[in-house]
């Protein structure tokens, strides 16, 4: 007789992180998998089960999707919208990231789910740190934007559900995630490096934490399976912090390109950015955001299995294969 395998419900499987989690769990073969999706045709013919849902909100009924489920990995979310189309974006973030998450978690607790893994964000802690003073899992929370605020509100609600049920909750706050298929600013950096465009970032001496997709999904798996992860908050990174200058040099190396950075005083960069309305962008490029992941090793025995350089090479290879 086959031994019992726990069943996992995964949300957000069509996304950057959720898709990587799905591929990782398929490869490991540890769990029976069920994917919640708005479009069943996306996952038709797959080796795992797919169930449909209409939307992540307070009205969604998860009863069917949660039947027989032992663990939930919730990676679906409303993320940053570059060109916002709604008048009240905070309300929209709350509908999805707070109300939708807490409806799923509440029904999960009622249906007997043992553990609920929530993929949150470092934005719950804030937008930056002083050089050499990283965030820890115990740091005060100070979200600035609507996305970070909604993630913190969801975290608070999840711990309230855990306190009033037998369901365990695990909160994971990743820093900037990169890897094959990365979009947004990281993709733009790779495009600029590939074109050999000179960049005025040679004198930026900040420190920023990153996490590769492979390290993140490995950590998520540890949080699914390790007993000590119960009702904990974890920050996750690659374990090595880089300046913007060093990151660009390593991206260039991974792509087989020459790094073309020239030194410009940070004060001048910020002045020019202010004039051209790019203050937020230059603040991110020049500012620090570090996290301390000692807790992950102390509690879970986890250290990042993949180096930044190897992860960048994998990301660059994917970029080159898909640029056309």
Catalytic residues: 147
Start-to-end CA distance of the chain, whole Å, equals 50
Q: How many whole angstroms separate alpha carbon 181 and alpha carbon 187? A: 9
Q: How many whole angstroms separate alpha carbon 102 and alpha carbon 108? A: 9
Question: Starting at the edge strand that comes first in sequence, how are the strands of the sheet with 115-119 ordered?
Answer: 49-52, 32-37, 7-11, 71-74, 115-119, 168-174, 232-236
Q: How many whole angstroms separate alpha carbon 265 and alpha carbon 280? A: 17
Q: How many whole angstroms separate alpha carbon 60 and alpha carbon 319? A: 37
Question: How many Å is the Cα radius of gyration of the chain?
Answer: 20
CB contact burial 76-87 (16+ within 10 A = b; e otherwise): bbbeeeeeeeee
Closest CA to 186 of 39, 56, 316, 8: 316
Which two three-digit tokens encode residue 304?
A: 């990042």
**Strand-strand pairing, 7-11 and 32-37:** parallel
């Amino acid at each position: 007789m086959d031994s019992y395998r726990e069943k996992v419900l995964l949300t957000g499987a069509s996304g950057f992180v959720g898709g990587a989690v799905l591929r990782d769990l398929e490869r490991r073969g540890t769990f029976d998998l069920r994917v919640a999706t708005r479009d069943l045709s996306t996952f038709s013919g797959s080796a795992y089960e797919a169930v449909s849902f209409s939307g992540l909100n307070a009205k969604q009924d998860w009863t069917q999707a949660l039947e027989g489920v032992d663990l939930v990995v919730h990676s679906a979310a409303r993320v940053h919208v570059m060109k916002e189309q709604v008048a009240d974006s905070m309300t929209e973030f709350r509908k999805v990231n707070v109300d939708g998450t807490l409806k799923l978690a509440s029904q999960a607790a009622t249906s007997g789910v043992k553990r609920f893994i929530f993929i949150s964000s470092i934005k719950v802690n804030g937008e930056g740190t002083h050089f050499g003073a990283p965030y820890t899992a115990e740091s005060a929370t100070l979200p600035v934007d609507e996305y970070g605020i909604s993630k913190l509100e969801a975290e608070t609600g999840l711990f309230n559900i855990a306190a009033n049920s037998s369901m365990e909750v695990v909160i994971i706050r990743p820093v900037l995630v990169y890897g094959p298929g990365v979009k947004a600013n990281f993709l733009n950096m790779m495009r600029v490096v590939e074109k050999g465009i000179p960049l005025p970032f040679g004198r930026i001496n900040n420190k920023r934490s990153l996490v590769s997709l492979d390290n993140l999904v490995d950590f998520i798996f540890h949080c699914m399976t390790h007993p000590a992860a119960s009702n904990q908050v974890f920050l996750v990174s690659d374990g090595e912090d880089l300046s913007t200058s060093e990151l660009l040099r390593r991206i260039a190396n991974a792509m087989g390109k020459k790094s073309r950075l020239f030194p410009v005083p940070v004060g001048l960069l910020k002045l020019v950015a202010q004039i051209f309305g790019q203050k937020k962008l230059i603040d991110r490029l020049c500012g620090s955001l570090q996290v301390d992941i000692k807790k992950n090793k102390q509690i879970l025995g986890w250290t990042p299995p993949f180096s930044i350089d190897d992860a960048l090479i994998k990301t660059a290879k994917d970029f080159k294969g898909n640029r056309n």
